[in-house]
């Protein structure tokens, strides 16, 4: 197997922004494949295959989902991390642009690639599990995916609020808190002046972070904590017949919900980033703590490596 860099007509795009977008697309697709796949197992496949019990009759069902999403994030980060640092989440991209010098010109392209990857990942899961979904609906006499009872199988793809909420404030707060925790801890894990994990275990720890958020803050709104993770599969579910359960997220107890897992994570990301920087990062800088020299805290494209080689001060200004 050759270790030489690619040559020919594809070499240029792979080394620049399109290559980054390809990595974000694939990493997010992998994330959604494992994440929504774990929910499909808990909701439809296990109980219809004879390998499990009724849906959500025990905490084990939620643990399967929480660990499924945690592993999904870890594996997605391992896939794309060497190219982009694996944002896989518009909230992560936005936080990096606001607080870490990530180019603003890349924010929308990254977010679009993440959204497309999420949609494709959800589509693959749907085509793999649509027979199990139909079997679950038939067994439970659910005539319409877009009806009130269709929310159960819709939950494979998108999030929705718990029925004890009757206004938007509770789910918004939940998404803000969950995403603030996500971004704040990610910033801690990638801060070369703090105590970042070594030996390439950071993606696994980020996965554990997502497990923790799911176990601690998952029930109120389904912990989207990622606009692409929710919107991409939500659009797939809408196209596959879940109708108003998906778009606009019209439920008996709360209507027009779909904006919440898009907007609230972006707000939470900024809050989490600012809190980490004010309480930890700025303290480390004020104390003159030197950055660790044996830690790779982020990926750089060929373009960025060239610019940093020409202007070393640029690198220090972004960290």
- Is residue 67 predicted with pLDDT exceeding 60? yes
- Is residue 215 predicted with pLDDT exceeding 50? yes
Over residues 252-268, the mean pLDDT reads 94
Rounded to whole angstroms, how far apart are CA atoms 98 and 100?
Answer: 6
In angstroms, how far is the first alpha carbon of the chain from the final one? 35
- Is residue 298 predicted with pLDDT exceeding 80? no
- Is residue 49 predicted with pLDDT exceeding 70? no
Rounded to whole angstroms, how far apart are CA atoms 284 and 282?
Answer: 5
Answer whether the bond into residue 248 is a cis peptide, omega within 30°.
yes
Dihedral pair phi/psi, residue 178, rounded to 5° = -60, -45
Over residues 29-33, the mean pLDDT reads 98
Contact 206, 189 (CB under 8 A): yes
> 170-198, pLDDT tens digit by residue?
999 999 999 999 999 999 999 999 988 87
pLDDT band at 61 (very low <50, low <70, confident <90, very high): confident
Quickly count helices (H) and strands (E) in the chain. 14, 0
Residue 42, pLDDT score: 87
Rounded to whole angstroms, how far apart are CA atoms 65 and 32?
Answer: 12
> 1-27, pLDDT tens digit by residue?
556 666 666 677 777 899 999 999 999
Residue 252, pLDDT score: 78
- Is residue 282 predicted with pLDDT exceeding 50? yes
Rounded to whole angstroms, how far apart are CA atoms 75 and 34?
Answer: 9
- Is residue 310 predicted with pLDDT exceeding 80? no
Least confident of 42-56, 57-71, 156-170, 209-223: 42-56
Contact 36, 122 (CB under 8 A): yes
Residue 316, pLDDT score: 41
Residue 57, pLDDT score: 58
Residue 14, pLDDT score: 74
Least confident of 9-13, 78-82, 245-249: 9-13
- Supply the mean pLDDT for the chain: 88
Residue 91, pLDDT score: 98
- Judging by beta carbons within 10 Å of its beta carbon (0-12, 13-18, 19+), is residue 38 exposed, middle or buried? buried
> 85-119, pLDDT tens digit by residue?
999 999 999 999 999 999 999 999 999 999 999 99
> 114-162, pLDDT tens digit by residue?
999 999 999 999 999 999 999 999 999 999 999 999 999 999 999 999 9
């Amino acid at each position: 197997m050759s270790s030489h860099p690619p040559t020919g007509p594809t070499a240029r795009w792979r080394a620049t922004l399109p290559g980054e977008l390809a990595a974000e697309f694939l990493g997010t697709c992998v994330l959604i494949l494992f994440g929504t796949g774990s929910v499909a197992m808990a909701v439809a496949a296990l109980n219809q295959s004879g390998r499990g019990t009724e849906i959500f009759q025990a905490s084990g069902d939620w643990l399967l989902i929480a660990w499924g999403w945690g592993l999904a994030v870890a594996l997605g980060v391992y896939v794309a991390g060497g190219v982009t640092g694996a944002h896989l989440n518009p909230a992560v991209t936005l936080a990096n642009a606001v607080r870490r010098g990530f180019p603003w010109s890349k924010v929308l392209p990254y977010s679009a690639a993440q959204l497309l990857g999420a949609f494709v990942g959800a589509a693959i899961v749907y085509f793999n599990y649509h027979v199990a979904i139909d079997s679950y609906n038939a067994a439970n006499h659910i005539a319409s995916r877009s009806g009130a009872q269709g929310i159960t199988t819709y939950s494979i793809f998108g999030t929705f609020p718990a029925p004890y909420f009757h206004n938007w404030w509770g789910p918004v707060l939940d998404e803000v808190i969950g995403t603030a925790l996500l971004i704040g801890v990610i910033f801690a894990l990638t801060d070369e002046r703090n105590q970042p994990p070594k030996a390439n275990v950071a993606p696994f720890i980020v996965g554990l972070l997502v497990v923790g958020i799911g176990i601690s803050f998952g029930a109120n709104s389904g912990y989207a904590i990622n606009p692409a993770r929710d919107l991409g599969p939500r659009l797939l579910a809408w196209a596959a017949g879940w109708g108003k359960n998906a778009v606009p997220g019209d439920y008996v107890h709360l209507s027009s919900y779909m904006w919440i897992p898009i907007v609230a994570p972006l707000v939470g990301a900024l809050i989490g980033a600012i809190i980490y920087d004010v309480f930890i990062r700025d303290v480390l800088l004020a104390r003159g703590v030197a950055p660790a020299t044996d830690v790779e805290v982020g990926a750089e494209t060929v373009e960025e490596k060239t610019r940093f080689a020409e202007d070393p001060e640029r690198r220090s200004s972004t960290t």
